[in-house]
């Protein structure tokens, strides 16, 4: 039997899951925010992160991750526990080159998991189904959480991952606005449910699987990347380009405001994840405070996405003009009441817009940008995509004898 849906209006604790910078002062600030918003029944429940580089990799490019060794990880977890905050290790690449099935790989995996157990890691976040079952069977000291990279977008997938041994499911961002489906999953699974609040990526992004595969591999190999391609590869170019060319994609993207948390708690979603590994502490703390307080006044889109800013410079032509900053903004108060449509009308967001123009209408009213600067960004990204897809691409990837790779323009 699944849990009964939580009755509308019942106040549940906001349990935030937040990426860590591995800095002691960052934990101090999180603890201060927990104390500040304790009266609102809100808390940072968990921080998450991983080593910068490993043979298994993770779900984020190593070039963006903070440097941390085993000793620093252990100290950081101890301090987090002193503040009553749990730690989740992100062992969530979607591909390990079949290393998980080799003798070498299994020994390395067991060595890592035993090390994580010794350092008192509470939760392991996993994307590969085989590893979910392996860890759940052999390492009961860990809570096993399914990564959003497993794309749980149906009841069938949720049930299967629960059957493999997961006790918490991070749902695909694509289902964030499918409240009929959220209620169905909540009714039929016992595992805890988690949703990601601030993903500005395209809804049902056609490039996501490829992007996540690239990420897995560049967090497994030491890559000397002189042009920055490992964190803004082809999928990001295409994803950003689509959003700049058509602002309704900004509104369609599966993010929600701090004020909209209440709708997820009404259907029994217990955990709210803040994405942003590699972001500066200042930006993360601003995100955390907004979602703990469940209100934000100002430009809400500044909290959600600025990936377009990566293209202020042309990585294929280092002497090209540096474009002025592009600011895409949405006054958060202009969206008051917007989420009721998704909660009550059950639009077909997961399968396609059809004749629904709701997001397009909203975008025309609330999304603001400088058209001339935006045009320059669009032209630059189009040119970079065209060069990359040419018969003579502008990148040269070399593999060295020591297993390292180098990317040159």
Give pLDDT, residue 12: 64
Contacts of 163 (CB under 8 A, 6+ apart): none
Nearest Cα neighbor of 31 from 84, 73, 87 is 84
Q: Are 72 and 331 in contact (CB under 8 A)?
A: no
Cα 398-399-402 angle, rounded to 5 deg: 140
Q: Are 266 and 190 in contact (CB under 8 A)?
A: no
Which pLDDT tens digit goes with each residue over 69-113? 999 999 999 999 999 999 999 999 999 999 999 999 999 999 999
Tokens read off for 240: 């950003």
What single string gives the DSSP state of each residue in 280-311? -HHHHHHHHHHHHHT---SBTHHHH--GGGGG
Distance CA 192, CA 170 (A): 9
Q: pTM, whole model, 2 decimals?
A: 0.93
Give pLDDT, residue 236: 96
Give the domain 14-396 fold.
TIM Barrel (3.20.20)
How many other C-beta atoms can be found within 10 angstroms of the C-beta atom of residue 84?
Answer: 11
Give pLDDT, residue 403: 66
Distance CA 386, CA 18 (A): 37
Using 50 as the pLDDT threshold, list the residues of the chain that sit under it: 1-10
Give pLDDT, residue 318: 84
Contacts of 35 (CB under 8 A, 6+ apart): none
Give pLDDT, residue 60: 86
Place of tokens 């108060």: 333
Helices 129-138 and 103-118: crossing angle, nearest 10°? Answer: 60
Give pLDDT, residue 95: 95
Burial of 91 (0-12, 13-18, 19+ CB in 10 A): buried
Give pLDDT, residue 173: 97
Contacts of 370 (CB under 8 A, 6+ apart): 326, 327
Tokens read off for 166: 């997961």
Three-state secondary structure call for residue 334 = helix
Give pLDDT, residue 338: 97
């Amino acid at each position: 039997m699944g849990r009964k849906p939580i009755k509308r209006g019942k106040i549940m604790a906001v349990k935030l899951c937040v990426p860590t910078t591995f800095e002691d002062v960052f934990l101090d600030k999180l603890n201060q925010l927990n104390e500040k918003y304790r009266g609102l029944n809100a808390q940072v429940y968990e921080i998450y992160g991983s080593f910068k580089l490993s043979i298994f990799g993770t779900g984020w490019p190593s070039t963006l991750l903070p440097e941390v060794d085993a000793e620093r990880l252990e100290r950081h977890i101890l301090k987090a526990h002193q503040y009553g905050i749990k730690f989740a290790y992100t062992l969530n690449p979607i591909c390990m080159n079949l290393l998980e099935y080799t003798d070498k790989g299994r020994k390395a995996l067991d060595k890592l998991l035993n090390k994580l157990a010794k350092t008192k890691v509470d939760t392991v976040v996993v994307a590969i189904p085989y590893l979910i079952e392996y860890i759940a069977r052999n390492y009961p000291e860990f809570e096993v959480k399914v990564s959003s990279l497993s794309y749980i977008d149906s009841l069938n997938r949720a049930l299967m991952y629960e059957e493999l041994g997961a006790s918490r499911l991070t749902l695909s961002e694509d289902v964030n606005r499918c409240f009929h489906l959220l209620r169905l999953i909540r009714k039929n699974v016992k595992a805890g449910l988690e949703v990601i609040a601030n993903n500005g990526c395209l809804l049902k992004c056609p490039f996501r699987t490829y992007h996540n595969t690239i990420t897995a591999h560049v967090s497994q190999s030491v890559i000397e990347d002189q042009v920055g391609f490992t964190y803004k590869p082809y999928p990001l170019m295409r994803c950003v380009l689509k959003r700049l060319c058509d602002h309704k994609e900004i509104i369609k993207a599966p993010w929600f405001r701090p004020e909209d948390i209440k709708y997820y708690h009404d259907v029994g979603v217990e955990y709210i994840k803040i994405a942003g590994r590699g972001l500066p502490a200042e930006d993360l703390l601003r995100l955390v405070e907004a979602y703990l307080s469940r209100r934000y006044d100002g430009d809400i889109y500044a909290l959600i996405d600025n990936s377009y800013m990566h293209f202020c410079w042309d990585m294929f032509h280092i002497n090209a003009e540096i474009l002025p900053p592009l600011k895409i903004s949405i006054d958060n108060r202009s969206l008051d009441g917007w989420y009721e449509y998704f909660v009550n009308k059950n639009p077909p967001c997961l399968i396609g817009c059809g004749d629904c123009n709701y997001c397009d209408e909203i975008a025309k009213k609330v999304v603001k940008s400088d058209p001339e600067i935006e045009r320059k960004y669009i032209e630059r990204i189009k040119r970079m995509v065209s060069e990359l897809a040419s018969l003579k691409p502008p990148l040269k990837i070399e593999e060295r004898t020591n297993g390292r790779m180098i990317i040159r323009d």
